[in-house]
Amino acid sequence: MGDLVPLNANGRLLGQLLKKQDFPVTELKLKERKEYFMFSYTTNTVCSKKITFNIEDDRLRNVVFHAGCPGNLLAISRLVEGMKVEEAIEKLKGIPCGNKTTSCADQLSQALVQALAEAIV
């Protein structure tokens, strides 16, 4: 499984000491908040090396694949923009790429599952 690094809006790791004006992160459960979370996920066995994304009010925002097939990954990013996180997981999980058992889309679904687990404090 990839490494998920939750970041605040300034790119600092969550858990670092932050001033209140830096980023309004609270330790509320994801489903109970009107919050903004930024994540960075290191992928495994696919062409893309990293995926960054935001979760805002249970919806995906600003999905960026770093490296990989630019056209296809830009298309995925645009298609999931604003989509509910649970819907994106359901649509993308288990998609293979060639003879691999995973794909960049599947890695995004894994990142989202891990993000939900990490964000529920």
Q: What is the DSSP string of 33-53?
A: ---EEEEEEE-SSSS--EEEE
Which contiguous run of DSSP H or E holds residue 7? Answer: strand 4-7
What pLDDT does 30 receive? 47
Mean pLDDT (the chain) is: 80
| Local confidence band at 119 (pLDDT 50, 70, 90 cut-offs) | confident
The third-level CATH classification (topology) of the domain covering 4-119 is Enolase-like; domain 1 (3.30.390)
Residues 89-115: tens digit of each pLDDT:
999 999 999 999 999 999 999 999 999
What pLDDT does 47 receive? 95
CB 30 within 8 A of CB 23: no
SS3 call for 55: strand
Mean pLDDT for the stretch of residues 10-31: 43
